[in-house]
A = this chain, B = another copy of it.
Amino acid sequence: MAVVRKMEDVPERNMSDGKEIVGVTKRLLIGPVEGAPTFAVRLFTLAPGGHTPAHAHPYEHGVVVLSGRGEVHTAQGAKALEASTVVWMPPGEHHQFRNTGTEPLKFLCVVPAAVEKT
């Protein structure tokens, strides 16, 4: 059955380890709980100065920025992020997301369903 809810009502999980990952929370908007067979949709919120790990992995990201300002760093350098920026991150590419602004940086990140099932 269809599920309709506000993203604010989805539980928020602190992802930070204080080293590789700083000021990051995640909401699993659509995933294994809903029985999603193909993809998962997550909302990440990075506090000012926060960042995701600088890493690579064998699966892809589809990212859409909702609000805030930041940068995505790849082997090709840094590119600016703001509301309505779309990022296609292919499997295997090294990357890091950083909040360079003064407000929370919020972005959706779509991954294959298996990423959230493990």
Task: Give the distance in Å from the alpha carbon of A82 to the alpha carbon of B31 in the complex.
Answer: 21
Instruction: Tell me, yes or no, whether A21 is within 8 Å of chain B by CB.
Output: no
Interface footprint category on A = 35 or more
Contacts of A54 in B (CB 8 A): none
Task: Give the distance in Å from the alpha carbon of A105 to the alpha carbon of B36 in the complex.
Answer: 25
A72-104: CB near B (< 8 Å → 1, else 0) gives: 101010010100111111110101000000000
Assess A95 versus B2: contact at CB under 8 Å? Given A8-B84, A38-B38, A110-B39. Answer: yes
What's the least CB distance linking A112 to chain B, in Å? 4
B38 touches A76 (CB 8 A): no
Instruction: Tell me, yes or no, whether A35 is within 8 Å of chain B by CB.
Output: yes
Most buried by B among A7, A64, A89: A64
